[in-house]
Amino acid sequence: MRRYVSRGDTGGPGAGKVGEPVPEDSPTATRPTALAVDLDGTLSRTDTLHEALLAVVASAPGALGGILGAAPSGKAAVKRKVAEAVVIPAEALPLNEEVLELVRMARVEGRPTALVTAADEAQARAVAEATGLFDEVIATGSPAALGRNLGGAAKAEALVSRFGAGGFDYVGDARVDLPVWKAARRAITVRAGAALRNAAEFANPDAVHLDPPLAPYRRARRYLRALRPYQWAKNMLVFLPAIAAQEVTALPAALAAFIAFCLTASSVYVVNDLLDLAADRAHPRKRRRPFAAGDIPLAHGVAMAVLLVCAAIAVALIGARPIFLIPLASYYIGTCAYSFWLKRKLIIDIMALGGLYTARLVAGAAATAITLSPWMMAFSMFLFLALACVKRQAELMDVEVLGTDGLPGRAYEAGDLPVIRGIALSSTHAAVLVLALYIASDDVARNYGDPTLLWILCPILLYWLLRMVMATHRGRMTDDPIVFTARDGRSRLLIAAAAAIVACATYL
């Protein structure tokens, strides 16, 4: 019997819907059947152990030694060490509302409720106390676990000992729950795929299914979203050295550099999202990111980050000069340093962001054997500092709108907004000044047929940057100015006009 149920419907003979009275002739009329709920992947859309380990890496890496030292003693000892370092509060977890509603209605019926999980007892109790929905907690480290990791058969034994065989309904999400479902009166799966649903029904014919999984193409879209392909536009900067030097033969190597940078950048975005879960969930837009929302398992994110880096190295070795690996590795190290540490440092964070933009120019030059001019380096320094300030300005505007004290995970306060806006404006004018000095230099006269046309670039650049600052001031900026530019029709028109001017100045 395969059924999907709406909120409140636990299925099964005599059960009806949660909230309906139990029939007088039902066996549960004299002794209400307990509702046992798993935590990881069920009540919480993510694995709390994985969340805690990532939090340790991000904020308390010194505890990793003790955690690794506990490994020979088994999973229960490792989980205890992790819980001693970090316990994830329930408010920071993406809880499954459908499961929460199931527990609420069970309590309305007067049924006992238990949070039964292989997670450490400290973590489980933190969630149970915050939700206020569970009468008891049975977890790894609790007396009922007898020193074992409370998963699979051990969980089934603990529940049978507590409620009796068939004296409980169990809500779970994984194949390891099959022994528990077999011992339960009713098996309730959450977000289970077809194979797991079949296995659950084989273990317990009285099985129902909550929160059906997404279609494969919709799951694939979530993984693609985690790579942030809309951010790949900024990697077009690797083409700029070849374009500025008018070296058409260097474009294939620049293309390989572009692909490698896209793969590397996506790996970094995944790492950043994994380490920034709490801050993202506190943000009005970032909380919908796939990892923060619990749409993708965190373990998959770790695997994605590794595979993307390996693919980037392979592309770089095949299509670009070997020396390109040095700026590529430097970019990856720099972005990881930003994710772990630099983004929490006042002012240093926006300087680091600007430097990471410039790293793409350096990488493009390394991939194509083109020497960057001092003019381009000076111009990029101020331009990208302005863009980094616009990004931070947009985030501080959210703080101002929400009325909070500062940015979660950042060193900025709401009152810092005018200072950041001032830095953006001054950097904008400095970038335009460097461009004007370059146009007036002898280098331009040698490289362009009609360099006077290039002067039109100055008002275009000034208007584009000032318009972004103003759009941010009015709360219309996304979290990234490059993304805003890619989606903004007027910005695209300005870029096309600038490209046309450069082409005319080159060939006329």
**DSSP category for residue 210:** E
Helix (H) or strand (E) holding 207: strand 207-210
| Residue percentage of the chain with pLDDT more than 70 | 92
pLDDT at 442 over 90: no
Per-residue pLDDT averaged across 20-36, rounded? 60
Q: Is the dihedral of CA 232, 235, 237, 240 positive or negative?
A: negative
pLDDT of residue 404: 64
Helices (H), 173-250: 178-183, 194-203, 216-227, 240-244
Instruction: At 215, give phi and psi (nearest 5°).
Output: -65, 150
Q: Which is higher by pLDDT, 404 or 178? A: 178
The mean pLDDT value for 22-51 works out to 79
Query: What's the pLDDT band for 13 if we cut at 50, 70, 90?
Result: very low
Please choose, from the candidates 345, 422, 416, the residue with its C-alpha nearest in 3D space to the C-alpha of residue 386. 422
Residue, of 353 and 448, whose pLDDT is higher: 353
Share of the chain above pLDDT 90, in %: 62
Q: Which residue has the tokens 């083409």?
A: 239
Distances (CA, A) of 3 to 177, 184, 187, 328, 478: 19, 17, 11, 51, 42
Q: Which of these, 130, 111, 147, 127, lies nearest to 38 by C-alpha position? A: 127
Mean pLDDT of the 413-425 span:
90
Q: What is the mean pLDDT of residues 222-238?
A: 90
> What whole-number distance in Å separates Cα of residue 15 and Cα of residue 58?
46
Q: Phi/psi of residue 171, each to 5°?
A: -105, 115
Among 356, 390, 365, 385, which residue's Cα sits nearest to residue 234? Answer: 356
pLDDT value of residue 9 = 46
137 has which bridge partners? 115
In angstroms, the CA 362 to CA 176 distance is 50
What 3-state class would DSSP assign to 367?
helix
Domains present along the chain, CATH in parentheses: 27-213 (3.40.50.1000), 217-507 (1.10.600)
Mean pLDDT confidence for 239-250:
85
Per-residue pLDDT tens over the stretch 82-104: 999 999 999 999 999 999 999 99
Model pLDDT, residue 248: 84
C-alpha Rg value of the chain to the nearest Å: 28
Q: How far apart are CA 349 and CA 388, in angstroms?
A: 9
**pTM for this one?**
0.77
pLDDT, residue 403, reads: 61
**What is the pLDDT, as a whole number, of residue 30?**
59
Between 120-129, 263-272, 406-415, 463-472, the lowest mean confidence (pLDDT) is in 406-415
Q: State pLDDT tens for residues 266-320.
A: 999 999 899 889 888 887 778 899 999 999 999 999 999 999 999 999 999 999 8
CB 499 within 8 A of CB 240: no
DSSP state of 370: -
Distance (Å, whole) CA 106 – CA 41: 20
The pLDDT score that the predictor gives to residue 41 is: 94
List, as one string, the DSSP characters of 150-185. Answer: --THHHHHHHHHHH-TTSEEEEE-SGGGHHHHHHSS
CA dist 434 and 443 (Å) reads 14
The DSSP code sequence of 81-132 is HHHHH----GGGS-B-HHHHHHHHHHHHTT--EEEEEEEEHHHHHHHHHHHT
Which residues are 168's β-sheet partners? 34
pLDDT band at 461 (very low <50, low <70, confident <90, very high): very high
What tokens were used for 185? 């009166």
Average pLDDT rounded to a whole number, residues 252-270: 94
> What is the average per-residue pLDDT within 219-240?
90
pLDDT of residue 28: 42
Mean residue pLDDT across the chain: 88
Nearest-angstrom CA–CA distance, 384 and 465: 11
pLDDT for the residue 2? 43
pLDDT band at residue 405 under the 50/70/90 scheme: low
Task: Give 434's DSSP letter.
Answer: H
Average pLDDT over residues 240-258: 88
| Contact assessment for residue 501 and residue 454, using Cβ atoms and an 8 Å cutoff | yes
Q: What is the DSSP letter of 189?
A: E
Q: What is the DSSP string of 120-131?
A: EHHHHHHHHHHH
Task: For residue 388, give both structure tokens.
Answer: 């980094």
Tell me phi and psi for residue 390, to 5 degrees. Answer: -65, -40
